[in-house]
Structure 1
Amino acid sequence: MLVRWLLAAIHLLAFGFALASIVRRSRGLRRCTSTEGLPAIFSADNGWGGSALVLIVTGAMRAFGGFEKGADYYLHEPLFHVKMGAFALILLLEIAPMMALLRWRNAVKNGDVPDLTHAPKYARIGRWQTLLLVVMVFAATGMARGIGLAGMGADGAS
C-alpha cells in the first residue's frame, strides 16, 4: 500500500515538473536570439528530460509492475489509450527539438555558435507538448475516478 501511494505521488509530481520544464523551455526558445539564453534553455530541457524519465518509470511500474490494478485493467481502459496516445505524440514531437538541442549543446561545448533559426519552431512544438501533457493529466485523473471504464457508463456504473 505504501509503495502504491509513493509511486502515485511521485508520478503526479513528475507531471508538475514536466509541465513547468516544458513551459520554461518553450518560453526560452521563443525568446532565443543569441547564445546568451542557451544555459536557461538547457537547464529547462534537463528538467523536461528528467521528469519524462520519472514519468516513464513510475508509469510503467504502476501499469505493468503489479503495483496497481494490473496490465489487463489498463489495456482495456479507453482513457489509458488516450493517455498513451498523447504520450506517443509528445515523444514524436520531441525528436526535432531534442536533436537540435543536442547539436546546440555540442556546438557550445566546442566553442561554436549554433544555428538558432529554428528556435521559434521548437517553441511552438513545446506548446503542443504542453497541451498533450494536460490531456494526459485529464485522462489519468479520469481513470482514477472510473470515468471511461470499458463497458460502463460515464458515472462508472454498469
Structure 2
Amino acid sequence: MLIHWFLAAVHLLAVALGFWAVLTRGMAFRRLSDGAGGARSVLIADNVWGICAVILLISGGVRAFGGYEKGADYYLHQPLFHLKMALFVLILLLEIAPMVTLIKWRLALARGVGIDTRRVGLFARISHIEALLVLLMIVAATGMARGAAFG
C-alpha cells in the first residue's frame, strides 16, 4: 500500500514541478527574446522540465501497467486515459524543435561559441502551449480519478 502512495506522490510532484518548469522556460525564452535574460535560465528550466517528463513517463507507466492502480484493462478502455496520452504525445511532438535547439545551445556554450536566438519567441509560445496541455492532462486525470465514463 505504501508503494501506491509513493508512486502517486512522485507522479503528482512531477506534474507540479514540470508545469512550473515549462512555464519558467517559456518566460526565460521570452526574456531572452527581449534581450533581458540569459540562456542559462532557459537551460536550467529545460533540465527540470526534461527530468519531470521522464519521471512522469516512468511513474505513470508503472502506475497504469504495473499493477499498482486500477489495472491496464481499465486504462486501455478509458477514453480520458487516451486523451491524456494523446496530449502527452502532442507535448513530445511540440518539444522536438526546442529540444534540438537547446542541445545545440549546450554544445555551442561548451565550446564557447555564440548561440542562435532567432526562434526564442516561437519556443516561448511552444512552452506556454505545452503548459496548457499539461493542465488539460490534469483535467483528464481528475476525470479518471472520479470515475467519469464516456461512450
Shared fold per TM-score greater than 0.5: yes
> Normalising by the residue count of structure 2, what TM-score does the alignment of the two structures yield?
0.95
Counterpart in the other structure of 1:141? 142
> Normalising by the residue count of structure 1, what TM-score does the alignment of the two structures yield?
0.91
Quote the Cα distance in structure 2 between the aligned partners of 1:103 and 1:22: 19
Q: CA deviation at 1:69?
A: 1.0
Q: CA deviation at 1:35?
A: 9.8
CA RMSD of aligned residues (A): 1.4
Q: Which runs of 4+ in 1 moved over 3 A?
A: 33-36
Contact in 1 for aligned 2:31/2:37 (Cα 8 Å):
no
Partner amino acid, structure 2, of 1:121: L
Correspondence list, 1:121-136, <5 A? 121-136=122-137
Quote the Cα distance in structure 2 between the aligned partners of 1:52 and 1:145: 24
Q: Residues 140 and 7 of structure 1: is their aligned pair in 2 closer, same or farther, counting only changes over 3 Å?
A: same
Counterpart in the other structure of 1:118? 119
Counterpart in the other structure of 1:154? none
Quote the Cα distance in structure 2 between the aligned partners of 1:32 and 1:112: 17
Partner amino acid, structure 2, of 1:53: V
Counterpart in the other structure of 1:92? 93
Quote the Cα distance in structure 1 between the aligned partners of 2:43 and 2:115: 13
Provide the secondary structure at the position in 2 that maps to 1:32. helix
Quote the Cα distance in structure 2 between the aligned partners of 1:43 and 1:79: 32
Counterpart in the other structure of 1:50? 51
Contact in 2 for aligned 1:76/1:150 (Cα 8 Å):
no
Deviations 1:8-40 (A, max 9, x none): 111011100000000000000011146961111
Partner amino acid, structure 2, of 1:38: A
Contact in 1 for aligned 2:28/2:37 (Cα 8 Å):
no
Quote the Cα distance in structure 2 between the aligned partners of 1:64 and 1:35: 45
Quote the Cα distance in structure 2 between the aligned partners of 1:10 and 1:141: 16
- Higher CA-based Rg: 1
